[in-house]
Amino acid sequence: MRKIPRLTDTTLRDGDHAINHSYTPEMVRAIVKDLDDAGVSVIEVSHGSGLKGSCIQQGFSVHAEFDLISAAVETAKQAKIASLFVPGIGTSKELREAVEIGIDMIRIAVHCTEADVTEQYFRMAKELGIEAVGFLMMSHTQPANVLVEQAKLMEAYGADCVYVVDSAGAMVQTAVREKVSALKDALSIEVGFHGHNNLGLAIGNTITALEAGANQIDGTLRGLGAGAGNAPTEVLVAVLNKMGIDTGINLSILMDTAEEVIAPLIHSPIVIDRDNLSSGYAGVYNSFLLHVRKAAEKFGVGASEIMEELGKRQAIAGQEDWIIDVAVKLAEKKV
């Protein structure tokens, strides 16, 4: 058997985007119990945009985020509970509160050129005694040498692992191999990979990342996530088993949970449709999609047209206000 990677399931964070932030404490308990029983190592729980993400710009949660985190912490018996934290959305107050509730890990996410804003949060996480993981979002936008520089900053601040994050599902396997390998060669800490499926490569890219030396990988049950979704956790485990990598995770439990618990939550199929493909091809952040579709309908323009223009502008997380600006300008051109 080959070395076992650590698998983080982020159904209860990335999947939050796909169901319009409508998780309930009861749903969280049911999903965490099954993932925990299956032997998943880490379960991420928070608003899709991280701690304090429930707002008009990111989308309001139906239930209070900390109630959901509490439900997860109370339910898990062996899995670590993690939350996402985006500086500028969350603050040290929310990070401290999440630790008081009982999270074991914080995943600190920034655009892949902005690691310098994370120092105080990594240092706080270590002072509070929890694991800290760095997330270099939109990693497709920068060459490997830039990602290495940013990852080294996170390592210096106290990160236990740094992820190459394909936030737009825009990376192909050659890029994944190059970037993960570069981080592995440059860092003394672990390296992770988080993929989306806009180009149909979430599983393939994750396997490529492992072959390049990644120690940690992410998935979501049924691929539930922003845009075209994530690498499905149950499929990842099945593929790893086929490759002779014993994850120690019970595949039958994952398949049953994906089919019986997650599938009924999905309002519309998570497929690589025109909008999702255009998002991945243009390299636009996946969480923009719901907002893009609403703007496209409101102003009578095509969602793929908005995506194309956002891609040209190299829009990043936090620039959601551009969506309306682009839609208005496209509508004016049609008059």
Active site residues per annotation: 17
Burial 14-42 (b: 16+ CB within 10 A, else e): bbbbbbebebebebbbbbbbbbbebbbbb
The whole-angstrom separation of Cα 77 and Cα 39 is: 10
φ/ψ bin of 159: left (φ > 0), alpha (ψ from -120 to 50), beta (otherwise): beta
Is 304 known as a binding-site position?
no
- 14 labeled binding residue: yes
Nearest to 194 by CA among 286, 113, 273: 286
Determine if residue 23 is labeled as part of a ligand binding site: no
CB of 184 closer than 8 Å to CB of 213:
yes
6 assigned ligand-binding residue: no
Classified as helix, coil or strand, 228 is coil
Reported as type and span, the H/E element at residue 306 is helix 303-313
111: annotated binding-site residue? no
Helix (H, G, I), strand (E, B), or coil: what is residue 227? coil
285 is in an annotated binding site: yes
Which residues sit in the known binding site for substrate?
A: 13-14, 167, 194, 285
Which residues sit in the known binding site?
A: 13-14, 167, 194, 196, 285
Which residues sit in the known binding site for Mn(2+)?
A: 14, 194, 196
